[in-house]
A = this chain, B = another copy of it.
Amino acid sequence: MIDLFIIKVGGNVIDNPVLLQSFLEKFAAVPGKKILIHGGGKIATRIGDQLGIKSNYVDGRRITDAATIDLVTMVYGGLVNKQLVAKLQTNGCNAMGLTGADGNIIPAVKRPVKDIDYGFVGDVNTAALHTAPLKALLEAGITPVFAPLTHDGNGQILNTNADTIASSLAIALSAAYSVRLIYCFEKKGVLRDPADDNAVINLINKEIYQQLLAEKILTDGILPKLQNAFGAIENGVKEVLIGHADDVLSNTTAKVAGTLIC
Q: Which residues does A use to contact B, with CB under 8 Å?
A: 47, 50-52, 70, 73-79, 81-83, 85-87, 89-90, 94-99, 101-104, 132-133, 136-137, 139-140, 142, 149, 151, 153-157
Contact = CB atoms under 8 A, between A and B. Distances in A.
Contact of A74 (B79, B101, B133, B139): B79
Contact of A90 (B73, B95, B133, B154): B154
Contact of A77 (B51, B78, B133): B78
A86 B133 contact: no
B94 A82 contact: no
Contacts of A157: 82-83, 86
A104 B104 CA distance: 22
A137 B135 CA distance: 11
A142 B90 CA distance: 26
28 contacts: A47-B51, A50-B50, A50-B51, A51-B51, A70-B79, A73-B82, A74-B75, A74-B78, A74-B79, A75-B78, A77-B77, A78-B82, A82-B99, A82-B101, A82-B157, A83-B155, A85-B101, A85-B151, A86-B101, A87-B155, A90-B153, A90-B155, A94-B104, A94-B133, A97-B99, A133-B142, A136-B137, A136-B139
